[in-house]
Chain A
Amino acid sequence: MPPSFVSINESCDEAGILGNLMNTKTVLVNETEDLPGDFAIWIFILAEMLVFGVMFIVYAFARSNQIEVFNESQLTLSRAMGTLNTIILITSSYFVVRAVFAIKSGNSRQSAHWLLGTIFLGGMFVAVKLWEFNEKFSAGITLETNDFYMFYLTLTFFHLMHVLMGMIILACIVYKLKNGDYSAEEHFGVETGASFWHMVDLLWIILFPLIYIIR
């Protein structure tokens, strides 16, 4: 039970049962917070998740017609690199959480440092992905090699574009943090950017096992 709930109820003891009930109701209503960041980003997040969700399902059903081709091609992917990229993204999401906590405490400098760390990890994700793409292209694999590689290259490239977009958004937030545009009271933009970055992570949470692990 949050401390605020207990303290307000205790303070109401002298005001009688009615006052106590009224205050309890007020606190219960206030316990449901607004969505973090801009509402529009949440509509965008849902739209993006819907698009990716459809592509994941299409991949799964396309595979059921060519199981051997998909399984053999999937085994050529580096699961270690896929795992490394998953850990990189999860860690970057953790850095974003710390950035939000920092700005909520009024520490914009620390918040900017956590976000710079996130951008660095985003860069690492991009580097690993490009290494993977280069390895496949060097082996003569293209979009036309087979349906598995078509899905692998398309889905991971589409996701990569979102990572890059997230890095640009976070870089803009760092710039604004350095300018002192955000504070403990006003940090709407930081939460908006954070929500977008978490969405990128959330999508990879399904993409990684689907493309690299499940056979």
Chain B
Amino acid sequence: MNKQLNRFATIIWLVLVILTIGTFLIGEEVTAGKSVMLSVLLISLIKGQLIANYFMGLRHVSWLWRGIILGYFVIVGGMIAIAYLN
């Protein structure tokens, strides 16, 4: 059971590292633009959810706490997007 949990956490870590490298490559290679900004914010939202649900262990607690973290990323990310789109 513990081995399975460790392996699962390792997979999540790998996904997070890949998404981080993806963000870096977008920043290095792609010219700035609205779609780039939205893609990077979406990647951040996915990373935030992975950390909250699988690293912080919110996957097993009340939906309210998962909703708060998801809401946080959606609201803060959304406001950043609005500011950049203006």
Contact = CB atoms under 8 A, between A and B. Distances in A.
B47 A205 contact: yes
Interface in A115-142: none
Given A36-B56, A195-B56, A101 B5 contact: yes
A96 B51 CA distance: 12
Given A57-B83, A64-B86, A101-B2, A79 B27 contact: yes
Task: Provide the main secondary structure of the chain B interface.
Answer: helix
A209 B41 contact: yes
Interface in A30-88: 31-36, 42, 46, 49, 53, 56-57, 60-61, 63-64, 71, 79-80, 82-83, 86-87
A111 interface: no
Interface in B3-17: 5-6, 9-10, 12-13, 16-17
A206 B44 contact: yes
Contacts of B23: 83, 86, 208-209, 213
Interface in B36-78: 36-37, 40-41, 43-44, 47-48, 51-52, 54-58, 60-62, 65, 68-69, 72-73, 75-77
A87 B57 CA distance: 20
A202 B51 contact: yes
Classify chain A: how many residues form its interface, as a range.
35 or more
Contacts of A98: 6, 9
Nearest to A100: B57
Contacts of B73: 206
A164 interface: no
B86 A83 contact: no
Contacts of B84: 60, 63-64, 214
Chain A, interface SS category: helix
Interface string A142-176: 00000000000000000000000000000000000
Nearest to B72: A49
B51 A201 contact: yes
Interface string A178-213: 000000000000010011001001100110111011
Contacts of A60: 79-80, 83-84
B18 to A, nearest CB: 10
Given A57-B76, A195-B56, A206-B77, A93 B86 contact: no
Given A201-B51, A205-B48, A214-B84, A83 B24 contact: yes
B47 A35 contact: no
Shortest 10 CB-CB distances between A and B: which pairs? A60-B83, A215-B32, A213-B27, A94-B13, A83-B24, A60-B80, A33-B60, A53-B76, A57-B79, A198-B56
